[in-house]
Amino acid sequence: MSQLFRRSLNFAAGFGALCAIISLVGCTQTTSITVSTNTMTGTTVSATYTATWDPPGSYLVNFDASQALLNISLSNATVTANTGTVTVSVKDLTTGQIVGQQNFNYVINGTSVYAQNPSAVYNWLQQFTGYSSIDVITNLTTPLQSITDAPSSVTGSVQYQGTTYASASAGWEPSDTCGTDNGGINQREICPQ
Protein backbone atom coordinates (compact mmCIF):
# COMPACT_ATOMS: atom_id res chain seq x y z
CA MET A 1 0.00 0.00 0.00
CA SER A 2 1.33 3.43 -0.89
CA GLN A 3 2.04 5.95 1.80
CA LEU A 4 1.94 9.65 0.93
CA PHE A 5 5.10 11.49 1.83
CA ARG A 6 5.68 15.11 1.19
CA ARG A 7 8.72 17.01 2.31
CA SER A 8 9.89 20.24 0.88
CA LEU A 9 12.66 22.61 1.62
CA ASN A 10 12.82 26.14 0.28
CA PHE A 11 15.92 28.08 -0.38
CA ALA A 12 15.65 31.59 -1.75
CA ALA A 13 18.61 33.24 -3.38
CA GLY A 14 18.60 36.96 -2.67
CA PHE A 15 20.21 40.01 -4.25
CA GLY A 16 21.31 39.53 -7.81
CA ALA A 17 19.95 36.02 -8.37
CA LEU A 18 17.56 36.90 -11.13
CA CYS A 19 19.87 39.59 -12.44
CA ALA A 20 22.39 36.95 -13.44
CA ILE A 21 19.65 34.68 -14.73
CA ILE A 22 18.65 37.22 -17.31
CA SER A 23 21.94 39.09 -17.69
CA LEU A 24 20.79 42.36 -16.11
CA VAL A 25 22.54 44.39 -13.45
CA GLY A 26 21.05 46.00 -10.34
CA CYS A 27 17.83 44.09 -9.68
CA THR A 28 16.80 42.51 -6.38
CA GLN A 29 14.58 39.64 -7.50
CA THR A 30 14.60 36.19 -5.92
CA THR A 31 14.63 32.63 -7.17
CA SER A 32 13.35 29.70 -5.14
CA ILE A 33 12.66 26.00 -5.58
CA THR A 34 10.82 23.28 -3.67
CA VAL A 35 11.22 19.54 -4.03
CA SER A 36 8.74 16.99 -2.73
CA THR A 37 8.45 13.24 -3.03
CA ASN A 38 5.58 10.82 -2.72
CA THR A 39 5.37 7.06 -2.88
CA MET A 40 4.09 5.54 -6.07
CA THR A 41 4.79 1.81 -5.79
CA GLY A 42 7.54 -0.23 -4.22
CA THR A 43 10.76 1.76 -4.34
CA THR A 44 9.62 4.08 -7.15
CA VAL A 45 9.21 7.71 -6.14
CA SER A 46 8.15 10.79 -8.05
CA ALA A 47 10.00 14.00 -7.31
CA THR A 48 8.19 17.26 -8.04
CA TYR A 49 10.21 20.43 -8.52
CA THR A 50 8.61 23.87 -8.40
CA ALA A 51 10.85 26.84 -9.20
CA THR A 52 9.67 30.45 -8.94
CA TRP A 53 11.31 33.73 -9.87
CA ASP A 54 9.81 37.21 -9.79
CA PRO A 55 11.13 39.55 -12.49
CA PRO A 56 9.43 42.60 -13.92
CA GLY A 57 7.94 41.38 -17.19
CA SER A 58 10.34 43.57 -19.19
CA TYR A 59 13.26 41.40 -18.04
CA LEU A 60 11.90 38.46 -20.05
CA VAL A 61 13.09 40.15 -23.26
CA ASN A 62 16.67 39.08 -22.43
CA PHE A 63 15.89 35.67 -20.93
CA ASP A 64 17.68 32.83 -22.77
CA ALA A 65 15.72 29.64 -22.07
CA SER A 66 18.51 27.53 -23.60
CA GLN A 67 20.74 28.55 -20.67
CA ALA A 68 18.23 27.62 -17.95
CA LEU A 69 18.22 24.15 -16.44
CA LEU A 70 17.30 22.10 -13.42
CA ASN A 71 20.22 20.01 -12.20
CA ILE A 72 19.21 16.86 -10.31
CA SER A 73 21.65 15.36 -7.82
CA LEU A 74 20.76 11.88 -6.59
CA SER A 75 21.94 9.70 -3.73
CA ASN A 76 21.11 5.96 -3.96
CA ALA A 77 18.55 6.61 -6.72
CA THR A 78 18.31 7.01 -10.46
CA VAL A 79 15.98 8.84 -12.86
CA THR A 80 13.82 6.34 -14.74
CA ALA A 81 12.62 8.50 -17.67
CA ASN A 82 14.54 11.03 -19.73
CA THR A 83 11.63 13.09 -21.08
CA GLY A 84 8.53 14.70 -19.68
CA THR A 85 6.43 17.83 -19.46
CA VAL A 86 7.09 21.04 -17.54
CA THR A 87 4.26 23.47 -16.82
CA VAL A 88 5.21 27.16 -16.92
CA SER A 89 2.77 29.61 -15.33
CA VAL A 90 2.91 33.39 -15.13
CA LYS A 91 1.21 35.13 -12.22
CA ASP A 92 0.47 38.87 -12.24
CA LEU A 93 1.50 39.96 -8.76
CA THR A 94 -0.54 43.18 -8.94
CA THR A 95 -3.81 41.20 -9.26
CA GLY A 96 -2.77 37.80 -7.89
CA GLN A 97 -4.15 36.13 -11.04
CA ILE A 98 -2.49 33.51 -13.23
CA VAL A 99 -2.35 35.27 -16.61
CA GLY A 100 -0.83 32.43 -18.62
CA GLN A 101 0.04 28.76 -18.42
CA GLN A 102 1.69 26.51 -20.99
CA ASN A 103 3.16 23.01 -21.07
CA PHE A 104 6.54 22.39 -22.69
CA ASN A 105 8.50 19.20 -23.19
CA TYR A 106 11.75 18.67 -21.32
CA VAL A 107 14.67 16.30 -21.84
CA ILE A 108 17.16 14.98 -19.31
CA ASN A 109 20.78 14.78 -20.37
CA GLY A 110 22.78 13.10 -17.60
CA THR A 111 21.23 14.72 -14.52
CA SER A 112 20.33 18.04 -16.15
CA VAL A 113 16.78 18.91 -17.23
CA TYR A 114 16.49 21.25 -20.24
CA ALA A 115 13.61 22.65 -22.28
CA GLN A 116 13.38 20.51 -25.40
CA ASN A 117 12.53 23.61 -27.45
CA PRO A 118 13.95 26.68 -25.64
CA SER A 119 12.86 28.98 -28.49
CA ALA A 120 9.23 28.02 -27.88
CA VAL A 121 9.61 28.88 -24.18
CA TYR A 122 11.21 32.24 -24.98
CA ASN A 123 8.58 33.09 -27.61
CA TRP A 124 5.71 32.23 -25.27
CA LEU A 125 7.15 34.35 -22.43
CA GLN A 126 7.37 37.45 -24.63
CA GLN A 127 3.62 38.11 -24.26
CA PHE A 128 4.24 38.97 -20.58
CA THR A 129 6.92 41.65 -21.07
CA GLY A 130 4.38 44.45 -20.43
CA TYR A 131 3.55 43.29 -16.89
CA SER A 132 5.20 45.29 -14.11
CA SER A 133 5.44 42.53 -11.50
CA ILE A 134 5.14 38.80 -12.16
CA ASP A 135 6.07 35.38 -10.87
CA VAL A 136 7.27 32.85 -13.45
CA ILE A 137 6.57 29.41 -11.99
CA THR A 138 7.86 26.13 -13.44
CA ASN A 139 6.59 22.78 -12.24
CA LEU A 140 7.80 19.35 -13.34
CA THR A 141 7.93 15.81 -11.99
CA THR A 142 10.56 13.15 -12.58
CA PRO A 143 10.17 9.45 -11.73
CA LEU A 144 12.97 8.06 -9.56
CA GLN A 145 13.95 4.55 -8.53
CA SER A 146 15.79 3.68 -5.32
CA ILE A 147 18.78 1.49 -6.21
CA THR A 148 19.58 0.25 -2.69
CA ASP A 149 17.81 -0.29 0.61
CA ALA A 150 19.78 2.65 2.03
CA PRO A 151 18.24 6.10 2.51
CA SER A 152 17.89 7.97 -0.80
CA SER A 153 17.66 11.64 -1.63
CA VAL A 154 17.23 14.08 -4.49
CA THR A 155 18.37 17.68 -4.74
CA GLY A 156 17.04 19.98 -7.43
CA SER A 157 19.14 23.04 -8.29
CA VAL A 158 18.01 25.92 -10.50
CA GLN A 159 20.91 26.94 -12.75
CA TYR A 160 21.42 29.58 -15.40
CA GLN A 161 24.58 29.91 -17.45
CA GLY A 162 26.38 27.50 -15.12
CA THR A 163 25.53 29.32 -11.87
CA THR A 164 23.21 27.83 -9.22
CA TYR A 165 20.63 30.26 -7.80
CA ALA A 166 18.46 28.04 -5.60
CA SER A 167 18.30 24.41 -4.49
CA ALA A 168 16.12 22.15 -2.38
CA SER A 169 16.25 18.51 -1.28
CA ALA A 170 13.97 15.69 -0.24
CA GLY A 171 14.75 12.20 1.03
CA TRP A 172 13.11 8.82 1.51
CA GLU A 173 13.98 5.38 2.81
CA PRO A 174 12.70 1.95 1.78
CA SER A 175 11.65 0.15 4.96
CA ASP A 176 9.77 -2.92 6.09
CA THR A 177 8.75 -1.25 9.33
CA CYS A 178 6.64 1.65 8.06
CA GLY A 179 4.34 -0.49 5.91
CA THR A 180 1.11 -2.14 6.82
CA ASP A 181 0.61 -5.84 7.26
CA ASN A 182 -1.03 -7.14 4.11
CA GLY A 183 -2.33 -10.62 4.90
CA GLY A 184 0.77 -11.44 6.92
CA ILE A 185 3.10 -10.08 4.23
CA ASN A 186 4.76 -6.80 5.09
CA GLN A 187 5.12 -4.83 1.87
CA ARG A 188 8.25 -2.83 1.13
CA GLU A 189 7.36 0.85 1.18
CA ILE A 190 9.05 4.19 1.07
CA CYS A 191 9.14 6.03 4.36
CA PRO A 192 10.04 9.66 5.11
CA GLN A 193 13.64 10.25 6.16
User: For residue 1, is it within any domain?
Assistant: no
Task: Give the whole-angstrom CA distance, residue 140 versus residue 50.
Answer: 7
User: For residue 6, is it within any domain?
Assistant: no
pLDDT for the residue 35: 63
Are 175 and 5 a contacting pair, CB within 8 Å? Answer: no
Express as a percent the part of the chain with pLDDT over 70. 67
pLDDT for the residue 170: 86
User: For residue 5, is it within any domain?
Assistant: no
Low-confidence residues in the chain, pLDDT < 50: 1-30, 40, 181-189
**Predicted confidence (pLDDT) per residue in 147-183, tens digit:** 887 888 899 999 888 888 888 888 887 665 555 544 4
Number of compact structural domains in the chain: 1
User: For residue 114, is it within any domain?
Assistant: yes
**Predicted confidence (pLDDT) per residue in 43-52, tens digit:** 678 888 888 8
CATH number at residue 166: 2.60.40
Are 81 and 120 a contacting pair, CB within 8 Å? Answer: no
User: For residue 118, is it within any domain?
Assistant: yes
pLDDT for the residue 54: 86
Q: Could you tell me the residue range of the domain that residue 133 belongs to?
A: 11-192
Return phi, psi of residue 126, to 5°: -65, -20
